[in-house]
Structure 1
Amino acid sequence: MKKVAMIPIKLNNERIPGKNVKCFSDGIPLINLIQNACLHADVDKVYVYCSSEGIKEYLVSGVEFLKRPQYLDSDSSNCNDIIREFIKQVDSDIYVVSHATGPFTRSLSINTCIEKVETEGYDSAFLAKRIQEFLWSEGKTINFDIQNFPRTQDLTPVYSETPGAYVFLKETFLKYDRRVGINPYIHEVSEIESRDIDYPEDFLIADAIYTEIIKSMDSSYWGDKYEKR
């Protein structure tokens, strides 16, 4: 089966200007990490899908640039809109969509999701962080009885999607018009791997993790085929 990875990028982020190409303390752009993770995953091609050709200077060797329509940069567009347009331009049996804001995504995790979709009958897969905490919403408990609360380890876990990888069959997206079908595989990842960068403080935390933890690790963190560049 043909497998293609797509990294959607826009350069006009509001909350963190230039977020996707913002550099860590050592000068490595944020976008580099997810490109490398995708390059060393089990895919045939990796594309950065961006409306601006200015992104080309940030491409890692082996990653291809594909220009997308400018309207997809608007706040009213979501990832499904981007995928819909990408599928028109690039044909594949399986698509992997990974975001630069999940910089600590491992190639091994992407491959696990691909394998589940390709060989085990799941129509889609994604990475998620397990949350097993006392949760509230609008002044009410969500997952526990306030009068007879259990130990945290006995709470029913919920899962928060991470931006690292969404994997799905082409037919799944065409049928449901979304990246997650009706039989998804949820691959649980660690606190570090689940890091998402939405706000300035998120980038500061990610920079600290990258500088103090990730850079000192060998390639085994990322996956068997990964080589840091």
Structure 2
Amino acid sequence: MKVVSFIPIKLNNERLPGKNTLPLGNRVMCEYIFETVNKIESIDEKYVYCSDESIKKYILEGLKYLKRDTYLDGFQVKGLEIIDYFLKDVYADIYVLTHVTQPFTKSSSIAEALDRVMSGEYDSAFSAKVIQDYCWYKGKPFNYNMKDIVTTQNLEPIYMETGAFYIFTREVFEKYRQRIGIKPYMKVISQIEAVDVDTADDYEFAKAVAEHLNKDNVRY
């Protein structure tokens, strides 16, 4: 059984230009997930999937650079198309997709989810965070009754995909064209792991988190 991970990166980000190589704590953003993936011994091959070769200077030993088509840097290109291209470039039985924009993802979280898929018990896995608060959808309360309001700790939890990682078999993607199959394992991660950098405000928050972790000597 061959397991391959890939980290898709583009350097022409629109909302926060150059975000993937911005300084974050004592490193640049992309180096966090590079180090995280590099620690996972159950992954056979580990790729950084980027059209711009300047990313090479940040790639750690143990990771491979794979140049992708510049077409995939287009702002209208969807994630499933990037996956499709990568699967044509690299064959594997199981794929691990991670994202630079969630720098505090733990290698132990990915490894645990990967083990569940490798066991055959699940056909895919993804990261999620718990939302246990009063939520609305389409102008109406989604998860509570306004005439019988319970405390938040007694609300039925909602689970939100974080995008930190997706793990799926080749068969799942080829059959369903999805990164989540019909029997997925949901790995609940912490709020820190779920930090996602898309905007300037997100980046400022991530810098505060990185500073806090550095003070406590926590390595993510």
TM-score above 0.5, yes or no: yes
Q: How high is the TM-score relative to the length of structure 1?
A: 0.91
Does the 8 Å contact 2:124/2:168 carry over to 1?
Answer: yes
- Is 2:36 the partner of 1:37? yes
Does the 8 Å contact 2:124/2:181 carry over to 1?
Answer: yes
Q: For 1:39, give the aligned amino acid.
A: N
Q: For 1:5, give the aligned amino acid.
A: S
Please give the alpha-carbon distance, in whole angstroms, between the structure 2 residues aligned to 1:190 and 1:214: 17
Please give the alpha-carbon distance, in whole angstroms, between the structure 1 residues aligned to 2:152 and 2:54: 48
Once the two structures are TM-superposed, the CA of residue 161 in structure 1 deviates from its matched residue by 1.3
Once the two structures are TM-superposed, the CA of residue 215 in structure 1 deviates from its matched residue by 5.5
Partner of 1:226: none
Q: For 1:135, give the aligned amino acid.
A: C
Does the 8 Å contact 1:7/1:99 carry over to 2?
Answer: yes
Give the percent of matched residue pairs that are identical in Structure 1 and Structure 2. Answer: 42
Please give the alpha-carbon distance, in whole angstroms, between the structure 2 residues aligned to 1:169 and 1:25: 35
The verdict on how the C-alpha distance between 1:184 and 1:214 changes in structure 2, with shifts beyond 3 A counting, is: farther
1:108 alignment partner, SS class? helix
Does the 8 Å contact 2:51/2:68 carry over to 1?
Answer: yes
Partner of 2:14: 14
Deviates more, 1:157-166 or 1:90-99: 157-166
Deviates more, 1:54-63 or 1:106-115: 54-63
Partner of 2:97: 97
Please give the alpha-carbon distance, in whole angstroms, between the structure 1 residues aligned to 2:127 and 2:61: 26
Q: How high is the TM-score relative to the length of structure 2?
A: 0.95
Once the two structures are TM-superposed, the CA of residue 139 in structure 1 deviates from its matched residue by 2.4
Please give the alpha-carbon distance, in whole angstroms, between the structure 1 residues aligned to 2:180 and 2:60: 28
**Superposition pairs of residues 72-87 of structure 1, within 5 angstroms:** 72-87=72-87
CA-atom RMSD in angstroms: 1.3
Please give the alpha-carbon distance, in whole angstroms, between the structure 2 residues aligned to 1:163 and 1:50: 18
Please give the alpha-carbon distance, in whole angstroms, between the structure 2 residues aligned to 1:153 and 1:59: 43
Please give the alpha-carbon distance, in whole angstroms, between the structure 2 residues aligned to 1:87 and 1:120: 20
Does the 8 Å contact 2:6/2:46 carry over to 1?
Answer: yes
Structure 1: tracts of 5 or more residues without a match = 223-229
Please list every run of at least 4 consecutive aligned residues from structure 1 whose deviation after the TM superposition is greater than 6 angstroms. none
- Is 2:115 the partner of 1:125? no
Partner of 1:208: 208
Partner of 2:113: 113
Partner of 2:134: 134
1:163 alignment partner, SS class? strand
Query: What is the aligned length?
Result: 219
The verdict on how the C-alpha distance between 1:79 and 1:214 changes in structure 2, with shifts beyond 3 A counting, is: farther
Please give the alpha-carbon distance, in whole angstroms, between the structure 2 residues aligned to 1:136 and 1:112: 33
Please give the alpha-carbon distance, in whole angstroms, between the structure 1 residues aligned to 2:215 and 2:43: 25
Partner of 1:178: 178
The verdict on how the C-alpha distance between 1:144 and 1:124 changes in structure 2, with shifts beyond 3 A counting, is: same
Q: For 1:40, give the aligned amino acid.
A: K
